[in-house]
Structure 1
Amino acid sequence: MTSDRSLEPRLEPYAPLNVLKPVAPDVWIVDGPEITFAWIGLKLPFTTRMTVIRLSNGDLILHSPVGYSLELRSALEALGPIRFLVAPNSLHYWWIPDWKVQLPGVPVLAIPGLDKRAKRPVQVDQLLMDRQSPWPDEIDLLVVKGDVLTEAVFFHRLSKTLILTDLIENFELKRIHGWFFRMLVRFSGAADPDGKAPIDMQLSFFRSGQALRKAVRQMIVWAPERIVIAHGRWYEKDAVKELRRAFRWV
């Protein structure tokens, strides 16, 4: 993904932007500006969303950070010290180098292979490996591998919050400006209220379907109460029901 601020937003943003919004105890989201994703010659718009987790010792984890600003950093540091920057999949990394420049001592945690696939240099300090959570007493981790996408899935036990990135996308059609993108979203299967992984991403898990099914079963066993996703309307309730619906293609 790349930032393209020269374009007028083609998705109605989840205002207010770049401010902390409470989700659950010690969990917040920050909705950011539109970003574009290049796909077969098209520039497709996506909304962006960061998830912030505060550990029991007060340290903050920034999951899929949105754009850096002094104002946002100050708001975050009022909650606690920023200790981890997380690139949860091979697409969600774009603004991490900007945060790393400002916070050089904060480690970047990323899925394997990001350094080779990223379209801008990203310093990776620690790899996210399957079930090897850097915070085993508070957060469970799964790494789901596909041919196109590898994604780290996080479950914050205290709040029962499941944090996904692109494994579920849930675009609200009423927020999309332009018939062509609305058509693409409908065709891809990523439209609210039946959002899921887009069809091209589903196909990329053809060879790893068994592993994905196992991962989905684990997510259900965790019994989350809510699911935060990066693109579109996230799920404030009925999380297990939404998992069964969104992953029925598996």
Structure 2
Amino acid sequence: MLQPIAANLWHLQHGFSALGIGVTARMTVVRFADGRLWLHSPVPLSAPVREQLAGLGEVAFIVAPNKVHHMFAGDAARAFPNAVLYGAPGLAQKRPGLRNMQTLTPEAPPAWAAEIDQVFAAGFPFANETVFYHKASRTVIMTDLCQWWTGDLNLPARLYAGVTGVRARLGVPRTIRAGVRDPAAFAASARKILAWPFDRAIVAHDSIVDSGAHAQVERAFACFTDKY
């Protein structure tokens, strides 16, 4: 079931295995002032979770924030047919079955710009990730750019997190760094993200940094911002 993070902010984790690595992914839910709901990076939605969402408000927006986190976007769109589906640049070509999907742009759409800001992470074409900032809770919402694999992981997951540098603290995994094709553009995007006055960071994998997150994200992005 959805777990509260802050006022009008919830999350739900989904566990699965990828090549033997135990992984969790996170969906984040924001409720706007008018009661509409914004779903970021949907995970499988059981009937009780769908009921819980319906009790919180009307699901108005479903967001597939990058070209990797899209697996359950179609299921969410079918569960909430009145919601508008948004996807990462290039996702429409990857998933042509996601009909009527709007493509995320560098600017927040008017439908949520008053409550959520966004930055496109340039220079990382593999994912084309958009990062979001929920103004009311001072929370940055990322997907894969920063990660921190905590808790009781299976051995392959512990090894993977250690090798990629995200077991002990929040960081940009080495796998992500290797995929950046334009580090100067990526660094410029990171500086835009750091211009937000956030204190909390939510990432898909898998920790939530509830306080002091700005300094931790700044340290994570330093592998680019200190060089470019």
Q: What TM-score do the two structures reach when normalised by structure 2?
A: 0.90
Local SS of the residue matching 2:158 = helix
Match of 1:190 in 2: 166
Matched-pair contact (CA < 8 Å) for 1:59–1:82: yes
Residue deviations 1:45-100, cap 9 Å, x none? 31021100011111000111110221101111111111111101111111111122
Equivalent residue pairs, number: 222
Matched-pair contact (CA < 8 Å) for 1:110–1:124: no
Q: Establish whether residue 84 from structure 1 lines up as the match of residue 65 from structure 2.
A: no
CA distance in 2, matches of 1:157, 1:182: 34
Match of 1:203 in 2: 178
Q: Establish whether residue 216 from structure 1 lines up as the match of residue 197 from structure 2.
A: no
Matched-pair contact (CA < 8 Å) for 2:92–2:101: no
Superposed displacement of residue 186, structure 1: 0.8
- Choose the corresponding residue for 1:35, options 3, 16, 25: 16
What's the C-alpha RMSD, in Å, of the aligned pairs?
1.7
Q: Establish whether residue 62 from structure 1 lines up as the match of residue 39 from structure 2.
A: yes
Matched-pair contact (CA < 8 Å) for 1:149–1:201: no
Query: 1 or 2 for the larger relative contact order (CA 8 Å, sep ≥6)?
Result: 2
Match of 1:22 in 2: 4
CA distance in 2, matches of 1:29, 1:102: 18
- Choose the corresponding residue for 1:151, options 117, 129, 132: 129
**Match for 1:198: what amino acid?**
P
Residue correspondence of structure 1 range 117-132 to structure 2 within 5 A: 117-118=94-95, 121-132=97-108
Structure 1: which 5+ runs fail to align? 1-18
* Deviation >4 Å, runs of 4+: none
Q: Which moved more, 1:125-134 or 1:225-234?
A: 125-134
**Match for 1:249: what amino acid?**
C
Match of 2:119 in 1: 142
Superposed displacement of residue 43, structure 1: 4.7
CA distance in 2, matches of 1:223, 1:71: 35
Superposed displacement of residue 223, structure 1: 1.4
Matched-pair contact (CA < 8 Å) for 1:50–1:63: yes
CA distance in 2, matches of 1:147, 1:220: 21
Local SS of the residue matching 2:49 = helix
CA distance in 1, matches of 2:75, 2:131: 23
**Match for 1:191: what amino acid?**
R
Q: What TM-score do the two structures reach when normalised by structure 1?
A: 0.83
Residue deviations 1:11-69, cap 9 Å, x none? xxxxxxxx12211221111122x1344xxxx3533102110001111100011111022
